[in-house]
Structure 1
C-alpha cells in the first residue's frame, strides 16, 4: 500500500517539475527522494514520470494518480489541523495558492499579520504563472485557499477582495510626458515595451489593452520574472503595464494611470466548506488586502 510520505514526494516532484528542486523543497537528499518515488512506482507496477534532461512530465499512470494523491494528502492535512484545533494546540499547515503578481504584491503584508496571529501555523505557498493554472490546481485540491484574479464559474466560495488597478511604468527620462498622472496608451504605440514572456499570466493584459487602443506592442525585452519588469523600466528599456501592487517603493521611473483604466477583480476562493483555519485566513485577507500601495497612490496624485 502506498504511504502518505510517498504521495507527498510524488506531488512535490509534480509541483516543482524536477527531482532536484523537489528534494531541495522537501529538505531531503535527491537519492532519498528518488527511492521514495521508485518504491511508489514498484508498488503501482508502472512508471509515474518521463525523466527528461531538464524536467519531468507525468506518464498516463502519473496523471491518473495525481488527483487521488492530492486528495489523500489534503485529507490528511485537514484531519491533522482539525485534531490539533480540538486539543487547542492551534498548530497546522495552511496551503495558499496564488499567481506570481498577487504573491509579490498583496500577500507579503497579509502573511506578516497572519504570522503574528498564528505563529505555530506553517504556510505553504503554491505560485502559478496564470489564473487558469491556479484555478485548476485549487480545484484539484492543491491549496486550501487561492488568492488571485476572480476565477469565472468557480463552484466553491468566493470572497471578493476588491479591484486592482494596472499602471503604466515609464523610464525616468524621455518619451511622452505623464506629469498629469495619466497617459493614453496610443501615445506609446511607437515605442518598444518591457513585456512578459508569452506564457506569463500578465502578458495578455498589455496585448488586450494595446489592441483596444489600436496598435500591436513591440517588445524591447521579455522577462519571465514578475518583479523584473519595474527594474527594466527604471533602467530605461521602455514602458511596462503592471499591477499597481508589484511596483516597489524604490522604483526610479515615472508612474501613470492608463487611459482608459485597466483593472482586475481579486478574490479569495475556497472549496464549498472551508475549515476553520482557512476561514480565518480568508477573513484576514479580506480585511488587510492592500490593492493600491500608498507609495504608488501618492505618486499618481
Structure 2
C-alpha cells in the first residue's frame, strides 16, 4: 500500500489528489509515505508551493513502484478470475493418443464447467507440443516422454507399457529382443516426426546400444493405418497397452512385451517458472482428474505415478 500511495502522489502532484484517487484520507496518504521514507532512509518528495516534486531517490523508486503496483493488480485479477473463471482463454496441448488415457472430451467438459472461458486444445505429436510450449504458443500440455525439456517444467504423472504387435502369433509367444525387433520388417507411425517421436527415440537408443538400427519398411502418420498394414502382413509395429483395449485394435493382431520392458511416460509440461493462467490451470486439473478416473476403470492401462499434491505443487511453480 505504501508503494501505491507513493505512486499516486507522484502522478497526482499532491497528497490530497492522491488521497482522492485512492479513496483514502489525506493524513493516511501522508503517513504511508512517511513510513516508506523511514524504511528506505531517504526523502522521496520535496514540497513546492503548490505541488510535490520527486527527489533523486524518488525518481529512482518510481519505475519500480509502478511495476510493483501493476504486478499486484495483475495478481489480484488472476485471483479473481480463478475464483470466478468468468473470462480468459485456456491453451493446452494433448498427445495424439490422449483418448486412450482420458476417454473424455476435455473441451466439452471444460466449457460445461466454465461457459465464459474460451478453450484452445491442440492435439499433435509430443515433440511439437513441447516446442510450442517452450515458444509460448501454448501454456501447458500433456505429453509423452522423452522430449527436449529445455526451458520447461516437467511432471511425470503416468506410464503405460509399449508392446510389440504382430499378425504372427508365433512371434508373440515370448518377449521380443530389440535385436529381433530391428531385424524384422517394421511398419511405424508418426512418420512426420520420425526420430523426434518419444517412442521412436527410445527404440532408436536401445537399438544403437545393441549395435542395431531401426529401419522401417513403411512409415505412416497414424497408428490406425499402421495396424491395418500389420494385419495385412506388411510388417510388425509397436502399440501402447492402452490402445490394445480400444476399438482401434484389430482382433487378428497379437502383442508381446519387450525383453526389457518399454514404457511411454505421460507428463504435464509448462514453461519453466511460468505461472499458468487460471483458465489453463483449471484445464490441467480437469485433465488430471480425467486421467485418474479412467485408469480406475477396467479399460484403464496406465499406472499413475504422481499424487494430487504433486500436481498442485507443479501448478504453483
Indicate the TM-score class for this superposition, using the shorter chain for normalisation: 0.5 to 0.7
Equivalent residue of 2:257, what SS?
strand
Unaligned runs of 5+ in 2: 1-73, 303-317
Task: Tell me the residue number matched to 1:221.
Answer: 218
Q: CA deviation at 1:169?
A: 1.4
TM-score (structure 1 length as normaliser) = 0.57
TM-score (structure 2 length as normaliser) = 0.54
Residues 295 and 193 of structure 1: is their aligned pair in 2 closer, same or farther, counting only changes over 3 Å?
Answer: farther
Task: Tell me the residue number matched to 1:208.
Answer: 205
Inter-partner Cα distance in structure 1 for 2:281 and 2:177: 41
**Contact 2:86 2:117 survives alignment (8 Å):** yes
Q: CA deviation at 1:257?
A: 1.8
Inter-partner Cα distance in structure 1 for 2:171 and 2:281: 47
Residues 153 and 204 of structure 1: is their aligned pair in 2 closer, same or farther, counting only changes over 3 Å?
Answer: closer
**Contact 1:206 1:241 survives alignment (8 Å):** no
Answering whether residue 116 of structure 2 is matched by residue 117 of structure 1, we say no
Structure with greater strand share of residues:
1
Q: CA deviation at 1:113?
A: 4.6
Unaligned runs of 5+ in 1: 1-77
Residues 125 and 256 of structure 1: is their aligned pair in 2 closer, same or farther, counting only changes over 3 Å?
Answer: same
Residues 143 and 242 of structure 1: is their aligned pair in 2 closer, same or farther, counting only changes over 3 Å?
Answer: same
Answering whether residue 201 of structure 2 is matched by residue 199 of structure 1, we say no
Per-residue CA deviations over 1:176-215 (Å, capped at 9, x if unaligned) read: 132x6x4334344442011232633244343333334553
Greater radius of gyration (CA)? 2
Residues 136 and 297 of structure 1: is their aligned pair in 2 closer, same or farther, counting only changes over 3 Å?
Answer: closer
Paired residue total: 215
Residues 186 and 266 of structure 1: is their aligned pair in 2 closer, same or farther, counting only changes over 3 Å?
Answer: same
**Contact 2:144 2:267 survives alignment (8 Å):** yes
Q: CA deviation at 1:223?
A: 0.5
**Contact 2:130 2:149 survives alignment (8 Å):** no
Residues 297 and 83 of structure 1: is their aligned pair in 2 closer, same or farther, counting only changes over 3 Å?
Answer: closer
**Contact 2:134 2:152 survives alignment (8 Å):** no
Answering whether residue 225 of structure 2 is matched by residue 242 of structure 1, we say no
Residues 297 and 234 of structure 1: is their aligned pair in 2 closer, same or farther, counting only changes over 3 Å?
Answer: farther
Q: CA deviation at 1:104?
A: 5.0
Answering whether residue 136 of structure 2 is matched by residue 138 of structure 1, we say no
Task: Tell me the residue number matched to 1:255.
Answer: 255
Task: Tell me the residue number matched to 2:165.
Answer: 169
Alpha-carbon RMSD: 3.8
